[in-house]
Amino acid sequence: MRFFEYESRAVVARAGIPVTRHGFAKTADEARRVAEEIGGPVVVKSQVLSGGRMKAGGVQFADSPEEAARHTERILDLEIGGHMPRGVLVDSRAAVAREYYAGVVWDGTRKRPVLLFSDMGGIDIEQVAADHPDHVARMHFSTRVPFQDWQAKQLVASLGVTGTALNRLTPIVARLARLFLEYDMTLAEINPLGELEDGSFVALDAHMDMENEARSRQRALLHELGVGDEETRQAREATPFELAGEQVDAQDHRGVAGNVTEFDGDLGLVIGAGGGSLTLFDAVRAHGGRPANYCEIGGNPSVLKACGLAKLVLTKPGVDKIAVMMSIVSNTRVDIVARGVVKACLELGFDPAEKIAIFRIPGAWEEEGFKILERYGVQYADRSVSLNEAARRAVARVQGGVA
């Protein structure tokens, strides 16, 4: 789950890392007041969960509170990367002498967090790593042994940083490493980490991502930041169709029938589980099909859920037929899914034989499931028909051919 910059700043400050004087504002008036409090020149930054703010004009400099207010008004109306800003961050304009970079991410291969430090901050760290690999230092660290200051010192010093700068950077970098673990982050980044003309160091911008799976145990922090449980913070905001999918899945606790993503095709997909859904979505597209959605069924959902998901997809505008397909199931029951999708068709006044392009779910309770489908004349396939072939037949039926 991604944090807005103003939230990331709060996280950093909570960990004892110095930040510049700043404030969050939702209106031009609020921005003016924040700028007055700060005094002197400020930067007004769009608070939006998207990159490329600078290029899009979402970051503006102001010499007076009046100017800050005027910029704020424009920025609040400026869409960036498909997102409208939540507000602006009004930040004091510090006299920066030098910019560093510090960040922590997980290394899935080494299965440990890796701390990164660079003396070339302020730009894309990926670019620095590619063009100036000798300016990026890395260090893996333990999740068991508490992170020690000397580890940060050793990392920073490895790039030749010494003197007061080393002694001031060390606690900042160490605190970043600790907050990464303490708050279950998947990314904790300070860029730039600025050395001001007076020799002090401050986080000029911060970027934090928290692991979704850890949200429940990070309630205290999220509450403090004002982040509600309902905020998913996905790459793009959920569509009403996707939100309805979540409601279907929340109907009861048995299994999964959700994880819906909307596309604009004519073939509705009722597919599962994780790997099977990815395989089937690829297969439908490979045969020239146009999926109306992605979704996942798994973990033996109830008839109610399977029915709810099928209804949702069937009633999506532009959907002609649905394909009900899964890799061989061992936990989810074929008969329950069959009952669910047939019920969905009937309750909506559709003929299941017409609306279900194909049903390909082999596995547990398949004999019982296939009997139900036969009763309603639904085309079905067992494991001798591959996922790829099932997808081909579904696409052919939607396109009016003979499957």
The two tokens of residue 54 are: 């600078």
Closest separation in Å from C-beta 311 to another protein: 24
Contacting residue, 209, 290, 315, 399, with another protein by CB under 8 A = 209
Closest separation in Å from C-beta 67 to another protein: 31
Which of the stretches 52-60, 137-145, 154-162, 335-343 binds another protein when contact is defined by CB under 8 A? Answer: 137-145
- Residue 122, sorted as left (phi over 0), alpha (psi -120 to 50) or beta, turns out to be left
Give every CB contact of residue 367 below 8 A, 6+ residues apart in sequence: none
- Residue whose pair of structure tokens reads 């993503």 in the numeric block: 261
403 contacts another protein (rule: CB under 8 A):
no
Paired with 62 in beta bridges are 42
- Exposure of 33 by Cβ count < 10 A (0-12 exposed, 13-18 middle, 19+ buried)? middle
Paired with 116 in beta bridges are 103, 138
CB nearer to another protein: give 35 or 188.
188
Closest separation in Å from C-beta 80 to another protein: 13
**Spatial distance between the Cα atoms of 306 and 304, rounded to a whole number of angstroms:** 6
77 contacts another protein (rule: CB under 8 A):
no
* Whole-number CA gyration radius for the chain: 27
Tell me the DSSP string of 97-160.
Answer: EEEEEEEEEEETTTTEEEEEEESS-SS-HHHHHHH-GGGEEEEE--SSSPP-HHHHHHHHHTTT
Contacting residue, 84, 97, 250, 278, with another protein by CB under 8 A = 278
Chain residues 303-362 in contact with another protein, contact rule CB under 8 A: 326-331
Closest separation in Å from C-beta 124 to another protein: 6
184 contacts another protein (rule: CB under 8 A):
yes
Count residues binding another protein (CB under 8 A).
Answer: 63
213 contacts another protein (rule: CB under 8 A):
yes
Chain residues 248-267 in contact with another protein, contact rule CB under 8 A: none
153 contacts another protein (rule: CB under 8 A):
no
**Spatial distance between the Cα atoms of 263 and 343, rounded to a whole number of angstroms:** 24
186 contacts another protein (rule: CB under 8 A):
yes
Nearest to 380 by CA among 337, 318, 319, 331: 337
Contacting residue, 112, 135, 168, 290, with another protein by CB under 8 A = 112
Contacting residue, 77, 95, 108, 349, with another protein by CB under 8 A = 108
The residue ranges that bind another protein (CB under 8 A) are 2, 51, 103-109, 111-114, 116, 124-126, 129, 136, 142-144, 181, 184, 186-187, 189, 191, 207, 209, 211, 213-214, 216-217, 235-236, 272-276, 278-279, 281-283, 285, 298, 326-331, 363-364, 383-384, 386-389
